[in-house]
Amino acid sequence: MRTENATSKRFQSEEIVPASSVRRVVAFTHIGNVRTQNEDRYLIHEIDDDSCLLAVADGLGGETAGDVAAETAISALKQIRPPAENPREQLVTAVSAANKAIMRRVLDNMALVGMGTTVTAVLVNKREAHWVHVGDSRLYVLRNGDLTQITRDHTLVQFLLDEGEITPEEALSHHSKHVLEQCVGCRYCIPESGQLTLRNGDVLVLTTDGLHDHIDPEALKSILASRDPLRTQAKNLIEHTLSAGGKDNITIVLATIHED
């Protein structure tokens, strides 16, 4: 494994070459142009020679320790050991443990009421990807130039879209755009999970809403489908989002799958 890191007061990046079926992983997180604190967190965790765990978390609650909630979720995921018979169950169990830990902290200190986090994580074991998801961070897969969103946003706006109550155009500017149906740290946290089979050359893309809510879907696809190195793609996405205002923290994790 080779690791390269870069850190400043406003951004952090990491690039590794794992021993697993993941060929290369790049992560960038940036505080943005407006926020005074970065409450986003990411994870690149090599579990063993066959498995790599990737995650993003977007802390909620501002001054009430959103960063602590995000750290709690990431710490729980780090406890995952080499995959058992049901990796999805491992992921759900870890997120549920984080949910209970955050709720206990709030009960111990009522000043932390409102603290919570999103989490989107994917465990790559050879050519199988098992994922878990709560909130409005996202997992995409880029395959043969096509970008597919794997996770569903747990937001009021997504619910209204699913019910046909609003149009996609109305959703873009809806006043409840950022209202979550659930998060890690709330009473009714029911992690969603799934599995997909990866192919040669696939790219896994994990983002917080500070990125995907502030970039046109076609621009996102265009940058990811370019022939630029993975690190350049991630950097270009961050810069594109910053130029659009950078009103939120911005985090992205990109991972390419080995080509035989």
1, 49 contact by CB (below 8 A): no
Spacing of C-alpha 249 from chain mean position: 12
Which region among 23-37, 53-67, 219-233 has the lowest average model confidence (pLDDT)? 53-67
Q: What is the pLDDT of residue 207?
A: 99
Q: What is the pLDDT of residue 2?
A: 47
Helix 217-224 and helix 230-243, axial crossing angle in degrees, nearest 10: 160
Backbone angles phi, psi at 106, to 5 degrees: -65, -40
CB-based burial of residue 81 (10 Å sphere; 0-12 exposed, 13-18 middle, 19+ buried)?
Answer: exposed
Q: Residue 260 — very low, low, confident or very high, per pLDDT cuts 50/70/90? A: low
Q: Amino acid identity, residue 251?
A: T
Q: Residue 84 — very low, low, confident or very high, per pLDDT cuts 50/70/90? A: low
Look up the pTM and report it: 0.93
Cα–Cα dist 243/162, whole Å: 31
Q: Residue 175 — very low, low, confident or very high, per pLDDT cuts 50/70/90? A: confident
* Domains of the chain, start order: 2-257 (3.60.40.10)
Cα–Cα dist 124/45, whole Å: 10
Q: Residue 26 — very low, low, confident or very high, per pLDDT cuts 50/70/90? A: very high
DSSP states along 106-160: HHH-GGGTT-EE-EEEEEEETTEEEEEEESS-EEEEEETTEEEE-S---BHHHHH
Cα–Cα dist 33/28, whole Å: 15
Q: In this model, does residue 83 exceed pLDDT 80?
A: no
pLDDT (tens digit per residue) in 88-119: 999 999 999 999 999 999 999 988 888 999 99
Q: What is the pLDDT of residue 49?
A: 80
